[in-house]
Amino acid sequence: MKIKLVHPLWTHLPSVVALIILVIYILTTGPLPAEAPVHFGFSGEPNRYGSPWEVFGITIGLSVIFILVSILFDELWARQEKAKSFNWLSLMDDIFVPFMAGVGLGYLSFLKSGDDSFSFPWAYALPMVGGAVALAIILDTLRPYRPYSAPLTIEDSPTLKAEIAKSLKENASFVYWDYQNPFYVSLITVVLPLVMFLVAAITSFSQIWVGVVMLVVGITLIIPYGGQRTLVTRNQVAIRWGILGIRVLRLKITDITGMTVHEFQPLKDFGGYGIRINREMTAYYLRGNRGIKITKTKGKAVLIGSDHPEALLAVLQGITGLE
């Protein structure tokens, strides 16, 4: 099945052009030395030697990854926006890639000069970044707005309300669970900890403190495994996260003054996913663009992301008696 992109790819031209410029300069500079300084201290003195291709390989590889990640985030932005707005996330690769290209050009100049120390190449990096960002802003301004409507399943609220009312009447200890556990959470909480543990095992032989830090980071990354679970009882609404069931929200039913199904733009409204705060509300979600907005007697409103917002709304209305 062919995937149709909503966000145009030509908005990434500044970062792609910067990377192409670096590659052209590498190929036309002439043969690189077999061994040269590849790492430097704060003073610019070399502290490790190796093949220059190591430096350029890392630079080009990271740049390609940033461009691909930026394409992904730009596509998410375009599919979520309800009206044309400036996509500040589009600048991610247009800052990083030209910066890395500028550093690469400075490193090439260093290799050709034969100097003993390396001075950070701001004269290359800053103009590259400035030009790329300026062009990126212009291109995003020219970007057309393409409305995107994802398939939406609206659950039958009257039927749900009847079923929930019956369950509330029959069960004294009523409990309702709502889950959000997207694939990326499982990926992050399984793959990244394994990488951290591997790095910890390798580095612990030479630098024990680095191994300890990597071990702690790996263990910490496991905690969100299992995603977000929203629990509704007769007395409270609670949100728990991860394998340990860490409670990140507890809201008394008596503190709720209203609730409604709320559509939002995760990237524009909150800048990402997870636990997010803006001027109007505190949000808890891991995917999607729909949830329940709850107003309280005191403080900001609360937004709870849900894959089944109509069901969650019906439960809350049944519990609170509010419409």
Q: Is the pLDDT of residue 8 over 50?
A: yes
pLDDT in the model for residue 99: 94
Which of 47-51, 95-99, 112-116, 204-208 has the lowest average pLDDT? 204-208
Please compute the mean of the pLDDT values over residues 247-276 and round it to a whole number: 93
**4 confidence band (pLDDT: 50, 70, 90):** confident
Mode of pairing for the β-strands spanning 301-305 and 281-285? parallel
As a whole-number percent, the residues of the chain with pLDDT over 90 amount to 44
C-alpha torsion angle, residues 307, 313, 315, 318 (rounded to 10): -170
- Answer yes or no: are the C-beta atoms of 189 and 244 closer than 8 Å: no
**For 39-88, what is each residue's pLDDT tens digit?**
888 888 888 888 999 889 989 998 998 899 889 888 888 888 878 888 88
As a whole-number percent, the residues of the chain with pLDDT over 70 amount to 93
pLDDT in the model for residue 261: 94
DSSP string, 128-153: HHHHHHHHHHHHHHHPPP--------
**239 confidence band (pLDDT: 50, 70, 90):** very high
**243 confidence band (pLDDT: 50, 70, 90):** confident
Which of 11-15, 24-28, 130-134, 206-210 has the lowest average pLDDT? 206-210
- Answer yes or no: are the C-beta atoms of 95 and 64 closer than 8 Å: no
Quote the tokens at residue 26: 């590498």
pLDDT in the model for residue 196: 82
List all residues 6 or more positions away from 18 whose beta carbon is below 8 Å from its beta carbon. 97, 98, 101, 102, 128, 132
Whole-angstrom Cα distance, residue 274 to residue 144? 29
* C-alpha distances out from residue 96 to 64, 70, 92, 216, 291, Å: 11, 11, 6, 28, 34
Among 238, 231, 261, residue whose Cα is nearest residue 155: 261
Please compute the mean of the pLDDT values over residues 100-109 and round it to a whole number: 93
Whole-angstrom Cα distance, residue 287 to residue 307? 8
Among 73, 62, 60, residue whose Cα is nearest residue 108: 60
pLDDT in the model for residue 3: 66
253 half-sphere exposure, CB direction, 13 A CA radius: 14
**For 177-224, what is each residue's pLDDT tens digit?**
999 998 888 888 888 888 888 877 776 666 777 778 888 888 888 888
Quote the tokens at residue 126: 């800053």
Q: Is the pLDDT of residue 307 over 70?
A: yes
Domain residue ranges of the chain, discontinuous segments joined by +:
9-142, 150-177+248-323
pTM of the model: 0.69
Q: Is the pLDDT of residue 122 over 80?
A: yes
Quote the tokens at residue 90: 């589009």
Q: Is the pLDDT of residue 102 over 90?
A: yes
pLDDT in the model for residue 1: 47
List all residues 6 or more positions away from 95 whose beta carbon is below 8 Å from its beta carbon. 129, 132, 133
